[in-house]
Structure 1
Amino acid sequence: MQNVSISEGDIALVHALEVNPRASWSLLGEVLGVTPMTVARRWAKLFDQGAAWIAVLPGPVAWHSFAMIGINCASPRIDEVAATIAQDPLAITVEVTAGRYDLLVAVLAPDMATLSSYITDRLNRIQYITSTTSAIATEVFSEGSQWRIGAISRGQEHDLAPSSTGIRPTTPDVSDVDRELINALSHDGRMSFGDLALRIDRNASTVMRRLDRLLKHGLVTLRCEIASSLSGWPLHASLQFRVSPQHLGEVGRELAKWPEVRMCVALAAERNLMVSIWIRNASELTLFEMKVLREFPHVIVVDRTLDLRVMKRTGHMLDEAGRSIGVVPIDLWSPVQPRQAP
């Protein structure tokens, strides 16, 4: 893939779309102080180059059974195993890591039975995996859709924020038509209602109504992503902590606010708190760890890893620079099994 450069205006657009992933070109242009045509042109360039994209992933009410799985493999086959797992629609993110594990995989399932089957059956059918360690999430304090790149003001964020009445308490079923819509949107999260209607052979008003329902009921979340190599935070790292139960919620909620933190989740494991962070260089991992221990001296750091490569993030296959080169839509309701990589 060609070299990609990114401007301050591009970064501001990414931040704006982090706030409101399907904001109109006119609203984006008004808030960012440029014409709608300029905004549309900038986004088309970023999207076509794989530098930024709108990912589609399950919303908060669908996060029933989420697990972080550490995997070790026969050393010559790490990339092959990672590529196979990345084809699974339940694997949200697949990272090749330097540390305790060869791979760190985030898996989301519709229920505990499916998650159990994934861990005990689906993974066991993949060649060259030598061991797995699973930790099931008990609470998600933050995830990547709440992270901001830090390029626009609070006032601009306020002007962009979509109107919201909160997540509705009832949870409707996800139909086959909904799955078709989610699949189509996964390839381009800003696809127009008209184009989506053509893709799934429905009229535009039906598409608009169904997407609105999926979003308002918390079944689907849209997230603007950027290639980390272009974000200013090119390295990814994870830390696992041991926190006493009485302090777990307090520490998790506070760490979730820190600007480096992309994800913060409580786990049903001895290492009961995990954070994923984006950093500028490897030395910042130590600085982050020191800051945590300074703020929370009762916390014990149990493990830390640096990513060598992120092969898949929120359903998008990535190249070595973290740019999107393909899509494996996240589908909690799919019976599809992982395909062995060629």
Structure 2
Amino acid sequence: MRETVTVSELDLALVNALQLRPRASWSELAPLLGVTAGTLARRWERLSAEGLAWVYAAPGREFSRNRCSAFVLLRCLPQDRARLAAGLSALPEAVTIELTGPGSADLLLDVLAPDLTALGRFLGEKLDRMPGILSVNCLFTTSLYVEGSRWRLRSLDPAQLTALGSPASAGEPSRTLTLDAVDRALLDELVRDGRLGLADLAERTATSPATVRRRVRRLTDSSVLTFRCDLASAPAGHPVPVSLLGRVPARDIAAVHRTLAALPECRLVAAVTGPANIFATLWVHDLGDIQRRETALCARLPSLTVTDRIVGLHTVKRMGHLLDEEGRRVGVQPISPW
């Protein structure tokens, strides 16, 4: 049994700062948090070693415009669920896997692929070969409005938030960025550890720190990747993940997006195909909060009809990072959807 680790207010403030500036140096963050750079380095080393927090690269906004993603709802027999989750964890296309409560799905997958053909192969070949799956419901993403890097811990005070500034906003690329071998090598390293320094990245990709700096800047500016700081369930306050499927007239989708995006507990909002055209994931305080949030949303958005609520019981894998039952990171199964 793993020893319980106490997370201090400084630890939470550090994680919150890294959510805003995931690759900031310790010397940059130290004066804002009122401690030395060495203290921050030691705190982060402990948080990372215990699987309580981690920084990594994930697909940016460019992915939803030029590549393919889907939410896949699987039904299976109860005795097959753990085995299927373990098998699915080895598949790079299944970037996030959640065991869900009884209802319309037993497993919820977030699937990313470079194109529709690759996504079709995953659905028609890889899933077909896995015994125990009773049904597959695929919701193709047509627009991604909010993704996980927007979620915040809210442990910093207003003065600290002002000093950190708003996260840099990537520009709209005029064309699709063509990735070469160096870009892909950098992405492969950064999905494992988003805080690797320039020298380490240069050594691992057989290039120079100057080249690494230039390439990483190009990848972020073009929205190919974004950096996230994620954390385990306990320091996040043991949130309950719930995914809502909803139906709304096409003319109101923008209003629904803005309303959901303004909620601090909102992790994701996407437009999807199927009878329901909105998919949103919230991290709420408890099960009762699901009904309260839904009631408030429907009051503000009369044209919205919530058609399903999928409660997450255990996230097995989140953007390629493997989690234990306490939500701590215990390994990485790197993704490569680019």
TM range (shorter): over 0.9
Q: 1:203 corresponds to which residue?
A: 208
Q: 1:25 corresponds to which residue?
A: 26
The code of the aligned residue for 1:60 comes to R
Structure 2 residue 259 is matched with structure 1 residue 258: no
**Structure 1: gaps of 5 or more residues:** 334-342
CA distance in 2, matches of 1:53, 1:237: 22
Structure 1 residues 303, 229: closer, same or farther in 2, change over 3 A? same
- Could you tell me the TM-score, scaled by structure 2's length? 0.94
Q: 1:75 corresponds to which residue?
A: 78
Q: 2:89 corresponds to which residue?
A: 86
Q: Is the 8 A contact 1:55 1:315 kept in 2?
A: no
Secondary structure of 1:124 counterpart: coil
The code of the aligned residue for 1:115 comes to L
Counterpart of 2:109 (choices 102, 105, 116) is 105
Over aligned residue pairs, what C-alpha RMSD do you find?
1.6
Structure 1 residues 190, 286: closer, same or farther in 2, change over 3 A? same
The 5 A counterparts of 1:1-342 are 1-63=2-64, 64-98=67-101, 99-161=103-165, 166-333=171-338
CA distance in 1, matches of 2:19, 2:170: 19
Secondary structure of 1:166 counterpart: coil
Residues paired across the two proteins, number: 333
CA distance in 1, matches of 2:146, 2:169: 19
Structure 1 residues 72, 28: closer, same or farther in 2, change over 3 A? same
CA distance in 2, matches of 1:165, 1:250: 23
Q: 1:153 Cα deviation (Å)?
A: 3.6
CA distance in 2, matches of 1:163, 1:293: 33
Secondary structure of 2:235 counterpart: helix
CA distance in 2, matches of 1:153, 1:144: 22
CA distance in 2, matches of 1:27, 1:310: 33
Moved over 6 A (4+): none
Q: Is the 8 A contact 2:170 2:223 kept in 1?
A: no
Residues 155-164 or 299-308, more deviating: 155-164
Deviations 1:189-242 (A, max 9, x none): 111111122222322222222212211111111101011222114321111111
Secondary structure of 1:231 counterpart: coil
Q: Is the 8 A contact 1:23 1:160 kept in 2?
A: no
CA distance in 1, matches of 2:163, 2:78: 50
Structure 1 residues 297, 134: closer, same or farther in 2, change over 3 A? same
Structure 1 residues 165, 133: closer, same or farther in 2, change over 3 A? closer
**Structure 2: gaps of 5 or more residues:** none
CA distance in 2, matches of 1:47, 1:205: 27
What is the identity percentage for the equivalent residue pairs of Structure 1 and Structure 2? 38
Q: 1:164 Cα deviation (Å)?
A: 5.3
The code of the aligned residue for 1:38 comes to T
Deviations 1:100-134 (A, max 9, x none): 10100011111222222222222112221111000
Residues 111-120 or 156-165, more deviating: 156-165
CA distance in 2, matches of 1:320, 1:208: 37
Structure 1 residues 285, 163: closer, same or farther in 2, change over 3 A? closer
